[in-house]
Each structure stands twice: as C-alpha cells, then as structure tokens.
C-alpha cells in the first residue's frame, strides 16, 4: 500500500463524513502493520463539543477490532490537506508514537511526518 493509495482511501472515506455544521469533510485511512486499512470520518453533533474527528473514528474502529500496531495514517479534508488536531495527536500517541502521518493538497503533493514530530514530548503514563 503506497502513501498515494492510502491518501486516496482517505479522500473516498470523506464522502461519508457527517459535517453539516463546518462543511469540512474529513476522511482518514489507517494502515496496520499487517496491511489492514481502517477508515474513519468526522462526525459532527448539534452539541458541537460531542463532535469526533476522522482520525479518532478510524483509531477507535481499529482498536475495538483488536488492531494494535500501526504503520501510517492518511488524512484528507475536503479532498486536500488536513493535519490532526491536538486531541487526535494525543489520542494516537497512546498507541503509536512512531506512526507516519500523511496529508497534502492532492495525492501528488503529500507530506509525511512521524507523530512524534507532530507531537514532541507527548504524554504517556
Ligand atoms: N476535524 C477532523 O476530523 N480532524 C482533525 O484533525 C481536525 C478537525 C473535523 C472536526 C470538525 O468536524 C471539522 O473537522 C471542523 O473542525
């Protein structure tokens, strides 16, 4: 699975986003070490604070299905760049501080960081 393919899956997933308040449709595609992909979307709520981001949706799906080892996550917002918010960085740090985080304006202009680069000195008990 290439970064480009994973980003395409994030863009496709974003079609299922529920984002009537922001109209910012986010998709995430999370690749496990053994090659499975879990996708996620942002799911907004009339009580705005109850909104969940695409990255956490994908992580929650994966963790609850027993996955624990992750290679990469690609994220697309309205088809282009969307980097994880602070809550999502911390949420992912619990499981995979070394995961590769991929986003970009389109599939030919992707940037990649490790989660540790995006969240230096993240919190972990
Ligand atoms: N959002 C995500 O899904 N992921 C992020 O990391 C940033 C923000 C969503 C939350 C909300 O539904 C919309 O984008 C605008 O903030």
Is residue 103 in a domain?
Answer: yes
Average pLDDT over residues 10-36: 98
Is residue 13 in a domain?
Answer: yes
Which residue's alpha carbon is nearest to atom 9 within ligand 1? 53
Is residue 81 in a domain?
Answer: yes
* pLDDT tens digits, 66-125: 999 999 999 999 999 999 999 999 999 999 999 999 999 999 999 999 999 999 999 999
pLDDT of residue 1: 95
The structural domain count of the chain equals 1
Is residue 125 in a domain?
Answer: no
Q: Which residues contact 9 (CB under 8 A, 6 or more apart)?
A: 27, 29, 37, 39, 74
Is residue 111 in a domain?
Answer: yes
pLDDT of residue 119: 98
Whether residue 27 contacts residue 12, with contact meaning beta carbons closer than 8 Å, is answered with: yes
Active site (annotated) includes residue 55: yes
Catalytic residue among 55, 65, 105, 107, which?
Answer: 55
Is residue 124 in a domain?
Answer: no
Residue 29 belongs to a domain with what CATH number? 3.40.140.10
* pLDDT tens digits, 44-69: 999 999 999 999 999 999 999 999 99
Q: Can you give the residue range of the structural domain that contains 85?
A: 3-117
How does strand 100-104 pair with strand 70-77? parallel
Ligand 1 atom with minimal separation from the 54 CA: 3
Alpha helices in the chain (DSSP H): 3-13, 54-64, 86-93, 115-118
């Amino acid at each position: 699975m290439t970064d480009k393919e994973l980003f395409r899956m994030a863009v496709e997933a974003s079609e299922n986003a529920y984002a009537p308040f922001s109209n910012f449709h986010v998709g995430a595609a999370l690749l496990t070490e053994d090659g499975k992909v879990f996708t996620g979307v942002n799911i907004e709520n009339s009580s705005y604070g109850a909104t969940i981001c695409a990255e956490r949706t994908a992580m929650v799906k994966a963790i609850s299905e027993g996955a624990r080892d992750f290679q990469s996550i690609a994220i697309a917002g309205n088809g282009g760049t969307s980097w994880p918010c602070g809550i999502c960085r911390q949420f992912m740090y619990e499981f995979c501080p070394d995961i590769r985080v991929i986003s970009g304006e389109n599939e030919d202009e992707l940037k990649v960081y490790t989660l540790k680069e995006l969240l230096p000195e993240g919190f972990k008990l």
